[in-house]
Structure 1
Amino acid sequence: MSRIVYVNGSYLPEEDATISIFDRGFIFGDGIYEVSAVIGGKLVDCEAHLTRLERSCGEIRLALPWSKAELVAIHEELIKRNNLDEGGIYLQVSRGASDREFAFPKDVKPTLVMFTQARNFVNAPTVKTGIKVVSMPDLRWARRDIKSVNLLAPVLAKQFAAENGAQETWLTEDGVVTEGASSTAWIVKGKTLITRPLSNKVLPGITRKAVLAFLDESGFTLEERAFTLDEALEAEEAFITSATSLVMPVTTIDNHTIHNGAPGPAALRLREIYVDFARKGGALG
């Protein structure tokens, strides 16, 4: 049976879903997106994703005509109509459709598109083995804190990973790791988790925020600072966080085995806490 998707106020089969060829998301990448996880048929931290959506839209001066409650209701309806137990819901809002001119058009209505993707998050095979990461220079623009649909650089980074037998790419700039192509990068030294502080250089990860909320429960402390690839190679552990990977151990970086080559206790403990949080309908707000 075809997926039911949402386009501008209508729920319809995916093969019937269309948007204008003049949509600015298509023409210019003039739009913002979010991906919320669904585990056990429940949204995971959707409110936090929608708060970030509002912030990103504000940064590009795109006024949202929908309330958070309305957007949550659409998420929940898509879960119901697609009988989604585990996976993600992709949301994209663009400035709307208008003849091609760079400056913002006047009196244009934003385009809202949402769809589900069934995926195996909790019992992903890579949890037992850890994932492989490769590195490459960060080619992205200066406002990585905005969750823009301009994803050509991450696409090239993910393709680089795929061509090198890896699942993620860590992007580097000025001698340090910025973040993953679609994730937050972490290393572990002793009982200390190390990740970059928030700035325009990195996306404010929602799963990152959850991990920080779990510090007391997990028994780890936090050090927010940049780290080099060489430091990562010598770390006791490495892992990534994102809405779709949750907390995922990294066991290889640039063909170098991290520590003993097995998923480490910090990543596994944090993942355990996060999955329990998600199954309870996790919401940090």
Structure 2
Amino acid sequence: MVHGTHNAEHDARNETVKIYVNGEFLPRSEAKISVFDSGYLIGDGIWEGIRLHKGKLAFIDDHMKRLWEASKSTGINLPWTKTELIELIYKTCKENDMHDEVHVRAMITRGIKKTPSQDPRLTISGPNLVIIAEHKKASNETKEKGVKLFTSTIRRGSPDYLDPKLNCHSKLHEVQALIQAIEAGADEALMLDINGFVCTCNATNFFTVKNNEVWTSTGQYCMNGITRAKVIEVCEKHGIKCRQKDFSLYDTYGADEAFVTGTFGGLTPVIKIDGKQIGNGKYGTMTKKLSELYNDLIEESIHG
């Protein structure tokens, strides 16, 4: 099995899941979209990854807020209200008899193009909506083992040409960074910002711990991750000092602990960066504490 932050335990039920495609539920093997789709042609689309936890979509209001911000930023006009889209996501989960340990990806593209082109005026349909819900329990082995990072030469972009906050389908530069990391024997890529400060990973947000302080980037050049925001929130709530600041690889290599965050895996410890062991190379005490506090916050959110 490929080792990384998106490792999931095998679940045979995923072979027969139904995929929502523009109002229809289709078997996995038949879930298709036109080759003239804007997302396929030019990566013109936005998406959200959401967890279904004990029958409830965790932090769903935060996810919808981020999706609607992306819609406004890209000029993709959504024909649904937030409530209607949430209902469609729940409907997809119900269609598949899903209740817990489920990961949902809702993907929206600008629509079908008349001909291959960047020009949005050549779009001849409304937005395409695909919802994929899968039984995906994060691998506990990955969490206990931790992941290794490699610092990519590919930087996170400047907000004036493709804002890193935008959760869009155009992920090629992150894929390139990950390929560098894999070729270097690591599991995920650590990426610097345009000024050379430690920023984020290719698919997750990055944190370090030193002297019981938690550090993460300023947030100007990284995905505005929901889990990232929740970790900062629990730090503030429980009196743990969390700094959003510029820091270097020098600071990172000397950290006591490091971890990455994401909707699917929650908090995953980092044991090595660029071949250098971080702390004692194990699942650290602060990382475990924050992981527990984050899980408590999920429970509060679904019962609130």
- What's the TM-score once normalised by structure 2's chain length? 0.86
Q: What amino acid does structure 2 have at the position aligned with 1:160?
A: Q
Q: Give the Cα–Cα distance (whole angstroms) in 2 for the partners of residues 163 and 283 of structure 1.
A: 44
Q: Give the Cα–Cα distance (whole angstroms) in 1 for the partners of residues 188 and 141 of structure 2.
A: 15
Q: Give the Cα–Cα distance (whole angstroms) in 2 for the partners of residues 133 and 225 of structure 1.
A: 20
Q: What amino acid does structure 2 have at the position aligned with 1:138?
A: I
Q: 1:210 Cα shift?
A: 0.8
SS of the aligned residue for 1:197 comes to coil
User: What residue in structure 2 maps to residue 29 of structure 1?
Assistant: 43
Q: 1:228 Cα shift?
A: 1.1
For structure 1, which segment, 40-49 or 53-62, has the greater mean C-alpha deviation from structure 2 after superposition?
40-49
- Is residue 183 of structure 2 the alignment partner of residue 163 of structure 1? yes
Q: CA 1:12–1:32 in structure 2 vs 1: closer, same or farther (change >3 Å)?
A: same
User: What residue in structure 1 maps to residue 147 of structure 2?
Assistant: 131
User: What residue in structure 2 maps to residue 184 of structure 1?
Assistant: 205
Q: Give the Cα–Cα distance (whole angstroms) in 2 for the partners of residues 197 and 283 of structure 1.
A: 31
- Is residue 130 of structure 2 the alignment partner of residue 113 of structure 1? yes
CA RMSD of aligned residues (A): 2.0
For structure 1, which segment, 233-242 or 12-21, has the greater mean C-alpha deviation from structure 2 after superposition?
12-21
- Is residue 218 of structure 2 the alignment partner of residue 203 of structure 1? no
Q: Which runs of 5+ in 2 are unaligned?
A: 1-14
SS of the aligned residue for 1:213 comes to helix
Say if 2:191 and 2:198, in contact at 8 Å, map to a contact too: yes
User: What residue in structure 2 maps to residue 246 of structure 1?
Assistant: 266
User: What residue in structure 2 maps to residue 93 of structure 1?
Assistant: 108
For structure 1, which segment, 202-211 or 126-135, has the greater mean C-alpha deviation from structure 2 after superposition?
126-135
Q: What amino acid does structure 2 have at the position aligned with 1:194?
A: W
User: What residue in structure 2 maps to residue 175 of structure 1?
Assistant: 196
Q: What amino acid does structure 2 have at the position aligned with 1:34?
A: E
Deviations along 1:189-229, one digit per CA (max 9) or x if unpaired, are 22321111232x21111001111221244431121112111
Q: 1:112 Cα shift?
A: 0.7
Deviations along 1:101-121, one digit per CA (max 9) or x if unpaired, are 322126630111110132222
User: What residue in structure 1 maps to residue 22 of structure 2?
Assistant: 8
- Is residue 287 of structure 2 the alignment partner of residue 267 of structure 1? yes
Say if 2:156 and 2:191, in contact at 8 Å, map to a contact too: no
Q: What amino acid does structure 1 have at the position aligned with 2:181?
A: A
Say if 1:48 and 1:283, in contact at 8 Å, map to a contact too: no
Q: Give the Cα–Cα distance (whole angstroms) in 1 for the partners of residues 166 and 50 of structure 2.
A: 16
Q: CA 1:185–1:126 in structure 2 vs 1: closer, same or farther (change >3 Å)?
A: same
Q: What amino acid does structure 1 have at the position aligned with 2:285?
A: P
Q: 1:37 Cα shift?
A: 1.7
Q: Which runs of 5+ in 1 are unaligned?
A: none
SS of the aligned residue for 1:252 comes to strand
Deviations along 1:250-280, one digit per CA (max 9) or x if unpaired, are 1111111111111112111111111233245
Say if 1:24 and 1:95, in contact at 8 Å, map to a contact too: yes
SS of the aligned residue for 1:5 comes to strand
Q: Give the Cα–Cα distance (whole angstroms) in 2 for the partners of residues 283 and 157 of structure 1.
A: 39
SS of the aligned residue for 1:198 comes to coil
Deviations along 1:150-188, one digit per CA (max 9) or x if unpaired, are 111222223333334432211124321121101111111
Say if 1:44 and 1:283, in contact at 8 Å, map to a contact too: no
* Higher strand residue share: 1
**Which of the numbers 211, 216, 239 marks the counterpart of 1:219?**
239
Q: Give the Cα–Cα distance (whole angstroms) in 1 for the partners of residues 137 and 184 of structure 2.
A: 23
Q: CA 1:219–1:242 in structure 2 vs 1: closer, same or farther (change >3 Å)?
A: same
**Total equivalences in the alignment:** 282
**Which of the numbers 70, 73, 83 marks the counterpart of 1:59?**
73
Q: CA 1:116–1:163 in structure 2 vs 1: closer, same or farther (change >3 Å)?
A: farther
Q: CA 1:165–1:276 in structure 2 vs 1: closer, same or farther (change >3 Å)?
A: farther
